Structure 1
Amino acid sequence: MNVNRRTLVLGAAAVPLVSTIRFAGAQTAEFNYKYANNLPLTHPMNVRAQEAMDKIREETSGRVSIQIFPNNQLGADTDMLSQVRSGGVEFFTLSPLILSTLVAKASISGIGFAFPSYDEVWPAMDGDLGAFVRGEIEKSNLVVLDKIWDNGFRQITSSTGAIESAEDLKGFKIRVPVSPLWTSMFTAFESAPASINFAEVYSSLQTGIVDGQENPLAIISTAKLFEVQKFLSMTNHMWDGFWFLANKRAWEAMPEDVREIVAGHVNEAAVNERADVAELNATLRGELESNGMAINEPDTASFRQKLADAGFYGEWKGNYGEDAWAILEKAVGTKLG
């Protein structure tokens, strides 16, 4: 699938139509489930998720109907996490860093500047590091599928000026997701982090509650943050993904052969979405520049040093424990801190 702006727009247009058709016959489904997420319809995750849900319905002969609720339609991230735990929604995709409000060690993949590139990310998340995190998630009575979806390397945007070094983050009012790791990292930078759910990011930037935020390029584009942010600094300060979570009771209500069909198509979609995001990232920088953003590439050495000097790495090594930290360092191929 070649992903470009036209593909995404067409994909977005197709989603509500297909969903409406499917929902109209939902009463005939044996398992009529909801999948919620926080991303716009145009994001590759929703395009690929729709493909997966259509394939699941077809291969199960209509027994499983999963309707997608994108773009925080069912609430903010923290609300939807509560809903997937209670069964209010059956499926939900969430960043491991936000999931850490429930599963403390889930955020280990988001340590600042841990991953140099995608060459280290996928072997780690499909290997020992991902297996470790999934084991931690399962202890919280949630089901997590094997393949993590890509969100991307995160970049900092600002309305006040380019971020060229760690010094520019001092006193900077920045929106961060509701996660202890994000707050800790930007506190180490001596910023002024504000924990705000994604549903409120655009308005928070527009009204000046915060001066900036940080997100991968695909989200900066699809959420049109370029309308309220002038500067984009390519800091690559952390990699982030989305675990596909399921309510345990709803998951186990499906027969084993049906669960295998659902898991197979969702995991396949996750791998395809990774490729889509990579292809999209290759073009997004130019598109964001054409939408008025001034883009710079800071030297990250000062950022890494600031975190080390502030004790950030030592603190989180203590939080996760020696064994978990060793798995992380093995995965990224370097000593952190």
Structure 2
Amino acid sequence: MRAVKVLSVIFMAVLFSIVTVAGSALAAKTIKLHHLNKDDPFDNPTGAMATVFKSLVEAGTNGSVLVKTFPSGQLGKDKDALQQVKAGVIESGIHSVGGFASVYPLIGILDIPFAFPNISKTYEVFDGPFGKKLAADIEKRTGLHVLGFGDSGGFFQLTNSKHPIHSPADMAGLKIRTMGLDTHKAIITAMGGQPAAISWSEVYTALQTGVADGQMNPIPIIAFAKFQEVQKYLTLSGHLFAPYVWTMNSKFWNSLTDNEKEVVSYAAKSAIVAGRGMGRVIEASDRGLKELSKTMEVNTLTAAEKETFKKAAVPAVKKLIVEKFGADGEELLNAFLKAVQ
């Protein structure tokens, strides 16, 4: 009888612990996180960001906040995912500037060609006072909370299937794929080419079939997209830096406890550092420039050649920004350029 009583007590204790664990699991908050690339931390920057973020959030909150990632655009294009974040259908997304412009067109003020002297300067600008100013303006105009600005893979470089590029004259007649941003189109036009706005999922086929002659992207993106299979020439122009914008639904952010907010915030910052590091590693490793140079003819613009492109492109893009965005755009542009300098 005593044994039965003891077993009953043990059974009730086990049952209580199961119920408690199940209750905790049900009570956990979940961050559904959208990004456009593979969920592989060694394949691409957003894969590294998502993986590090999930690990740090779940460990740091002791499981009170869980992260479920939706890679490779499973939830749709960036502009679709952005609307889902705004509506609270999902809680967070890591977005390209092309997609982000659908809710915040002013992101185009970042598209001044040849603005940054080196990659480390981009981190100073987006982690510093200007980054905070930009995040605050985004929240004010869109209602989205900004977790930070990631690295999409470094500076944009040019590829094409026709010939090497050394001057604006070499761009004449080349159809270059861009995001659907007016500023990106203006850059290509001013540099002598013909912009062709094509969605990311269609770029490889467009290059393969000749719908576009070339495109512009950072080295890691060129490599993991395997553009070397359909492009012959790579020009290291370093003419543009386009950050990822990492957002979170504001209502969900406000539902977090102070401790959870702290964990989510530092997890995002750490994840952004991881993404930057992975971009640099891919760029410098056998998977980056070295791999591309096996099948592509690579040339680097000289300082004088860069200056020729810069003189052609910068005034055109500045003019477009002021005309399109007015006083607000000009004020934000000046703040950006001041931060760079």
Q: TM-score, normalised by structure 2?
A: 0.83
Cα contact 2:148–2:272 (8 A) shared by 1: no
Cα contact 2:37–2:73 (8 A) shared by 1: yes
Report the Cα distance in structure 2 between the residues aligned to 1:263 and 1:147, rounded to whole angstroms.
Answer: 12
Q: 2:331 aligns with which of 316, 320, 323?
A: 323
Give the superposition deviation at 1:305: 1.9
Corresponding residue for residue 285 of structure 1? 289
Give the superposition deviation at 1:271: 1.4
Report the Cα distance in structure 2 between the residues aligned to 1:218 and 1:301, rounded to whole angstroms.
Answer: 25
Report the Cα distance in structure 2 between the residues aligned to 1:98 and 1:112, rounded to whole angstroms.
Answer: 19
Cα contact 2:150–2:275 (8 A) shared by 1: no
Give the superposition deviation at 1:27: 6.3
The amino acid across from 1:286 in the alignment is K
Corresponding residue for residue 112 of structure 2? 111
Q: Cα 1:185–1:251, aligned 2, differ >3 Å: closer, same or farther?
A: same
After superposition, the CA RMSD in angstroms is 2.2
Corresponding residue for residue 95 of structure 1? 96
Cα contact 2:58–2:64 (8 A) shared by 1: yes
Corresponding residue for residue 314 of structure 1? 319
| Match status 1:189 vs 2:200 | no
The amino acid across from 1:101 in the alignment is S
Give the superposition deviation at 1:43: 0.6
Corresponding residue for residue 18 of structure 2? none
Corresponding residue for residue 300 of structure 2? 297
Q: Cα 1:297–1:97, aligned 2, differ >3 Å: closer, same or farther?
A: same
Give the superposition deviation at 1:130: 1.2
Give the superposition deviation at 1:263: 1.4
Q: Cα 1:97–1:108, aligned 2, differ >3 Å: closer, same or farther?
A: farther
Question: In the TM superposition, what whole-angstrom CA distance separates every residue of 1:245-281 from its partner, at most 9, and x where no partner exists?
Answer: 1112222222232122111111111112222322332
Cα contact 2:219–2:283 (8 A) shared by 1: yes
Mark the structure with the bigger radius of gyration.
2
**1:261-272 superposed matches below 5 A:** 261-272=263-274
Percent identity of paired positions between Structure 1 and Structure 2: 30
The amino acid across from 2:309 in the alignment is F
Report the Cα distance in structure 2 between the residues aligned to 1:132 and 1:181, rounded to whole angstroms.
Answer: 21
Report the Cα distance in structure 1 between the residues aligned to 2:197 and 2:149, rounded to whole angstroms.
Answer: 27
Give the superposition deviation at 1:317: 4.2
Give the superposition deviation at 1:322: 4.0
**SS of equivalent to 2:238:** coil
Cα contact 1:35–1:91 (8 A) shared by 2: yes
Corresponding residue for residue 158 of structure 1? 160
Report the Cα distance in structure 2 between the residues aligned to 1:62 and 1:56, rounded to whole angstroms.
Answer: 8
Cα contact 2:110–2:333 (8 A) shared by 1: no
**1:131-170 superposed matches below 5 A:** 131-139=132-140, 140-170=142-172
Report the Cα distance in structure 2 between the residues aligned to 1:67 and 1:308, rounded to whole angstroms.
Answer: 41
| Match status 1:54 vs 2:55 | yes
Q: Cα 1:56–1:315, aligned 2, differ >3 Å: closer, same or farther?
A: same
Cα contact 2:321–2:330 (8 A) shared by 1: no
Q: Cα 1:55–1:28, aligned 2, differ >3 Å: closer, same or farther?
A: farther
Cα contact 2:45–2:152 (8 A) shared by 1: no
| Match status 1:126 vs 2:124 | no
Cα contact 1:149–1:243 (8 A) shared by 2: no
Report the Cα distance in structure 1 between the residues aligned to 2:25 and 2:239, rounded to whole angstroms.
Answer: 46
Report the Cα distance in structure 1 between the residues aligned to 2:91 and 2:255, rounded to whole angstroms.
Answer: 11
Question: In the TM superposition, what whole-angstrom CA distance separates every residue of 1:53-111 from its partner, at most 9, and x where no partner exists?
Answer: 02211222222221112222221222222222222321111133542332132232231
Report the Cα distance in structure 2 between the residues aligned to 1:307 and 1:188, rounded to whole angstroms.
Answer: 5
Report the Cα distance in structure 1 between the residues aligned to 2:153 and 2:243, rounded to whole angstroms.
Answer: 4
> Alignment length, in residue pairs?
306
Structure 2: stretches of 5+ with no match in the other structure: 1-23
The amino acid across from 1:38 in the alignment is L
